[in-house]
Amino acid sequence: MKVAIYTLGCKVNQYETQAMERELRARGHETVPFDREADAYVINTCSVTAASDQKCRQAVHRARREHPEAVVAVCGCWSQTHAAEARALGADVLTGTGERMGFLSLLERAVREHGPERGAPLEAVDPPFERRHFEWLPAGGLEGRTRALLKVEDGCANFCSYCIIPYARGPVRSLPMGEAAVQALELKNRGYQEIVLTGIEISSWGRDLCQGTALIDLLEAVSAAVPGVRLRLGSLEPRTITEEFCQRAAILPDLCPQFHLSLQSGCDATLRRMRRKYGAARYLQSVELLKSTFRHPAVTTDLITGFPGETEEEFRETLDFIQKCGFARMHIFPYSQRPGTPAAEMEQVPKALRAERAHRAAEAAAAMRRAYLEECVGRTEEVLFEQPAGEEGLFLGHAPNYAEVLVKGTELHNQVRPVKITRTDGEFLFGELEE
């Protein structure tokens, strides 16, 4: 059969999509782009914001409308938490965030049994809080990519007051260290030059294994297994960044000095309403530890504006705080109300004000990004090249700090080359290949 997959959401979803694509091909099926004719259309969904929910509904509706004779299958966070909506939109196969290999078996059955009369969907939406084991999936990268994703953790136990994801993903489950090292070595042998360790909350890796191991132990094990391959970490909780973590991480030769520390707010009062597990002072300590330990690290973050109860004074406190941190990049989101979470029941900030604050924060973020990139000018960076960019003979790659670098050149795909950085436009770095 021919299967087309449309993916929404985070790197974990991207990882799970590539794992499903790989397994489908191993079973003798063909994967095709989502705009091609197929026997089945799979939507791997996200539910992190209301906008994500809307995109999921639109994707299912469009697939059902444009391909009435095909099987439409839905999996992921949105279908885990909004199964009734997916069912009402006409999904033929409906699962959530668990048992992706079982989902593919249901998909095969649906295609075999599919007839002119559409019956009840094949469903397997399990209770997420009953999950106790990490689901092994084959690691890899999406078609044409130079970096691979290695999912090492699933689930979250933080229960921040605004977040629906713990209800969609269940408790923390970790990929054992030895298995992570084996998968990393396989990725190296398949030619990948960079591996991104990802998960729903990778700072919690190892908590369920009860072996006294933590994320830094996993990082050391993977690094030892794949010398010469760049390693990059996914989003981290600030409390992960300790002196011991930095000292041990700094001696790993292939660790990329880019650290994404989730902030969400720079105001202690807002952080308490969010049920975050740190205050602004602890967060700043993490940033300062990273900047004092690593060579010109890129510290990036997420920010929510207009959280319930956020006053103008609290928002200004956040604006002042982000300047102290000097972020290399920020992802800024107006607060999105998620039914079923504690924050949804709090006093809401008007949507227009949430958006206006997001705009102000974005202006500050753009200035910080330009300042960071200007500090890169004159440096030589080892750039992993990925794909041609534009019509001017430029090739795009990423430096270890994840800055996007453009150079004149061709046939550079999957090469790591030294580049002298010559200028920036505030968004990209431009440079010249060195011999």
Cβ proximity of 418 and 385 under 8 Å = no
Amino acid at 264: Q
pLDDT of residue 43: 98
> How far is the C-alpha of 180 from the C-alpha of 151, rounded, in Å?
9
Burial class (CB in 10 A: 0-12, 13-18, 19+), 212: exposed
pLDDT of residue 116: 61
How long is the chain? 435
> How far is the C-alpha of 321 from the C-alpha of 9, rounded, in Å?
28
Using left for φ > 0, alpha for ψ between -120 and 50, and beta otherwise, residue 348 falls in: beta
In this structure, what are the phi and psi dihedrals at residue 173, rounded to the nearest 5 degrees? -135, 135
Please give the torsion angle defined by the CA atoms of residues 273, 276, 282 and 287, in that order, rounded to the nearest 10 degrees.
Answer: -120
Return all residues near 302 (Cβ < 8 A) that are at least 6 apart.
Answer: 235, 260, 262, 263, 264, 330, 331, 332, 333
> How far is the C-alpha of 184 from the C-alpha of 294, rounded, in Å?
24
Each as own residue / partner, the long-range contacts of residues 14-19 (CB below 8 Å, 24 or more positions apart, any chain) are 14/142, 14/149, 15/137, 15/139, 15/149, 15/150, 15/151, 15/198, 16/44, 16/76, 16/100, 16/137, 16/151, 17/44, 17/142, 18/140, 18/141, 18/142, 18/149, 19/100, 19/137, 19/138, 19/139, 19/140
Positions of E strands within 155-248? 173-174, 194-199, 230-233
Q: Where are the alpha helices (DSSP H) in 67-143?
A: 77-81, 83-88, 100-113
Q: Find the distance separating the first CA and the last CA of the chain, reported in whole Å.
A: 48
Cβ neighbours around 276 below 10 Å, total: 24
pLDDT-flagged residues of the chain (< 70): 115-118, 142-144
Q: Distances in Å between the alpha carbon of 3 and those of 92, 101, 104, 280?
A: 14, 15, 10, 47
> How far is the C-alpha of 283 from the C-alpha of 263, rounded, in Å?
8
pLDDT of residue 22: 92
Amino acid at 32: V
pLDDT of residue 146: 85
Q: What is the pTM of this model?
A: 0.93
Amino acid at 252: L
* Burial readout 189-206 (b: 16 or more C-beta within 10 A, e: otherwise): eeebbbbbbbbbbbbbbb
> How far is the C-alpha of 350 from the C-alpha of 341, rounded, in Å?
18
Q: Are strands 298-305 and 329-334 parallel, antiparallel or unpaired?
A: parallel
Q: Are strands 147-154 and 173-174 parallel, antiparallel or unpaired?
A: antiparallel
Angle between helices 243-250 and 215-225 (to 10 degrees): 0
Domains and CATH numbers, the chain: 2-126 (3.40.50.12160), 147-376 (3.80.30.20), 380-433 (2.40.50.140)
